């Protein structure tokens, strides 16, 4: 992990950047186009969006505006719950890449483990993978029992599981399961949507390293082997979030941060939600 282009190797051999840009809740429009363009120009190579964010068109325009070779980029999107099912998922994928203006995705995810629907959706993702339309496929918000159920039916196991992950929700059970099965964990909402930035213990650690709390959290992600995609619309924050490759947390500080866990979610619980 030397810089923004540093990658982890997924189980199928595809290289995925350790750090990327998330665009959750950033509305379609010129601001987002500029955010994506700015991030790529700063060195980001991974951009994460989703159909439900309703901003794929602006992400695509930002990618085009940055004028970087497509092969250098790692673009992720996700299929929403209402589109889960073999044919519906294939159609949703086509809609996503059309909006993005791309020929393929680097990673396509099932957004939530909707019971009775994710097995057929996974079959569609396997088809997309086999046809070369998605270089890697995975899931989001899956707990170990969801993954076990999926893998009973899957020809191809997920390469990534993107979950809510931050110092208040360390997801040790999920991470242990994924490590055992060679599934890369990826953090959404790594900064707990800003709620952790005033934490006194994290500030104390940050002061020691002459870094910000956000930088300490993102470094903690990386040292835990977790891909991370912080969101920001401000150019200086986009640059700041990427400035995490020139220091290393001690094992003692890693443990201090681990102990902040309270199993506290800012998003929905994957076992108790209804997005139907």
pLDDT at 275: 74
Q: Output the CA–CA distances (angstroms, integers) from residue 179 to 71, 132, 174, in the order listed.
A: 27, 26, 9
pTM, two decimal places = 0.97
Selected catalytic residue, list 53, 108, 129, 165:
53
Question: pLDDT band at residue 276, thresholds of 50, 70 and 90?
Answer: low
Whether residue 53 lies in the annotated active site: yes
Q: Where are the domains of the chain?
A: 7-195+221-246
Domain 7-195+221-246 has CATH 3.40.50.300: no
H-type alpha helices, the chain = 30-42, 56-66, 86-100, 118-130, 144-153, 172-180, 200-209, 213-223, 235-242, 251-258
| Res 139 pLDDT > 80 | yes
Q: Which two tokens stand for residue 271?
A: 């076992």
CA angle 185, 190, 193 (to 5 degrees): 145
Contact 128, 90 (CB under 8 A): yes
**Angstrom distance (rounded) from CA 163 to CA 167:** 13
pLDDT digits (tens, 9 = 90+) for 55-69: 999 999 999 999 999
């Amino acid at each position: 992990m030397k810089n923004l282009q540093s990658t982890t190797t997924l189980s199928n051999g595809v290289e995925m950047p350790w750090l990327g840009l998330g665009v959750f809740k950033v509305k379609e429009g010129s601001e987002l186009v500029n955010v994506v363009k700015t991030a790529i120009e700063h060195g980001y190579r991974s951009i994460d969006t989703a159909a439900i964010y309703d901003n794929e068109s602006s992400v695509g325009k930002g990618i085009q505006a940055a004028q970087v070779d497509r092969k250098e980029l790692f673009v992720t999107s996700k299929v929403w719950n209402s589109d889960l099912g073999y044919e519906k998922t294939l159609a949703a994928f086509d809609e996503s890449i059309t909006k993005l203006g791309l020929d393929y995705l680097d990673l396509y995810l099932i957004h939530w483990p909707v019971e009775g629907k994710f097995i057929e959706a996974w079959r569609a993702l396997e088809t997309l993978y086999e046809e070369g339309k998605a270089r890697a496929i995975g899931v989001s918000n899956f707990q170990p029992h969801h993954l076990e159920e999926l893998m009973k039916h899957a020809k191809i196991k997920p390469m990534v599981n993107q979950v809510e992950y931050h110092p208040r929700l360390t997801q040790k059970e999920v991470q242990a399961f994924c490590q055992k099965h060679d599934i890369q964990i990826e953090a959404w909402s790594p900064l707990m949507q800003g709620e952790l930035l005033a934490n006194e213990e994290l500030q104390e650690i940050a002061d020691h390293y002459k870094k910000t709390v956000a930088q300490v959290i993102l470094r903690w992600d990386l040292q835990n082997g977790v891909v991370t995609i912080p969101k920001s619309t401000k150019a200086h924050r986009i640059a700041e979030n990427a400035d995490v490759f020139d220091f290393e947390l001690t094992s003692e500080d890693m443990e201090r941060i681990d102990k902040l866990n309270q199993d506290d979610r800012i998003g929905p619980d994957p076992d108790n939600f209804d997005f139907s």
